[in-house]
Chains A and B, each alone.
Chain A
Amino acid sequence: MDKQLKRGMLDICVLAVLVGGDSYGYKIIQDLNTVVSISESTLYPILRRLEESGAVRVYSVEHNGRLRKYYAITDIGNQKITTFLDEWKSMMDIYAFIKGAANENE
């Protein structure tokens, strides 16, 4: 898949995981594994980007004597998902058009 396209999608995938509840790094990777396999080195900048743009909120929780960072989705994050879905709706229309044209040609 196009690198740039995938990059933008992964941001939304991470947000989508957080819609189901606050989560932490390792868990996010596991939850995503069913749709897309993603490495830590990919997730780290995504989470930073999302934090900086205010799409997620970060807090620490003590776990087994160490701190674990939890991520929670914010209103801005939810808005990002909505925008993504709207954009892809028109993308899917284009896809259907192209597919229809290609099938007709066969």
Chain B
Amino acid sequence: MNKTEFLEKLKTELNVYSSDEVDRSISFYSEMIDDRVEDGMEEEAAVESLGSIEEIVNQIKCELPLSTLLKNKAQEKFEKNKDKGGRNAVIITLLILGFPVWFPIMAGVFAILFALFVVLWSLDLSLWIVSLSGILAAVIGILSIVPAASIGLWPVIYCIGVFFVGIGATILFFYAALYTAKGIIKMSVAFIKFIKRLLVNGK
């Protein structure tokens, strides 16, 4: 396969992606082939050494957002089954007949995932609220020193105590909330990556 053929083939394989995506990868691989040829390699050998187009396309796919991947996958499946009209009809019939079975299961899975998501963020939200109420306590503590002074020394000490406890709680819970949020985001990203890999590698 020569350079033109290779790039043409890569272009066809990537045709479901945005033209910007296609242009970027075409220019990258074209540069790679040119550099190898300049280094003294035969054009065909240079193309050969880039590896299979399938591998290249898979690597590019893994970097795309999940929604694009899902859309492309559905489109691919649809195009593939277009010419197998008979089998397609059977699948559609089965999907419709099986609807009472698969729909509740799918809905259940999504509901569980969603609930998990809500629970995690509620936990984080409550930490933020505690942190905020710490600020509130500190402010009230400071403001009450003046009226407390008219009663005596002990109320003033009490107010100062409230102030420091408030500040302490704010700092402590601020970090707790921050790290919880970071953790949840990291987990979500890892989960999406996992789903992506399943989609791209699964045939």
Which A residues form the contact surface with B (CB < 8 A)?
Answer: 24-27, 39-42, 44-45, 47-49, 64, 66-69
Contact = CB atoms under 8 A, between A and B. Distances in A.
Contacts, number: 52
16 contacts: A24-B35, A25-B32, A25-B35, A26-B36, A27-B35, A40-B56, A41-B55, A41-B59, A44-B60, A45-B62, A48-B63, A64-B38, A66-B31, A68-B31, A69-B27, A69-B28
Nearest to A47: B28
Contacts of A45: 59-60, 62-63
Contact of A40 (B38, B39, B50, B62): B50
Nearest to A52: B63
B59 A26 contact: no
A44 B38 contact: no
A31 B38 CA distance: 17
Contacts of A25: 28, 31-32, 35
Interface of B: 24-25, 27-29, 31-32, 34-36, 38-39, 50-51, 55-56, 59-60, 62-63
* Interface core residue of A39, A40, A64, A69 (most chain B CB under 10 Å): A40
The interface residues of chain A, by DSSP majority, are classed as: helix
Contacts of A49: 63
Contacts of B25: 44
Given A66-B31, A68-B31, A69-B27, A39 B51 contact: yes
A40 B35 CA distance: 12
Contacts of B38: 64
A42 B63 CA distance: 11
Contacts of B36: 26
A41 B60 CA distance: 8
A25 B24 CA distance: 13
Contacts of A67: 27, 31
A48 B36 CA distance: 21
Given A41-B50, A45-B63, A67-B27, 15 more contacts: A25-B31, A25-B32, A26-B32, A26-B39, A39-B55, A40-B50, A41-B55, A42-B59, A44-B25, A45-B62, A49-B63, A66-B31, A66-B34, A67-B31, A69-B31
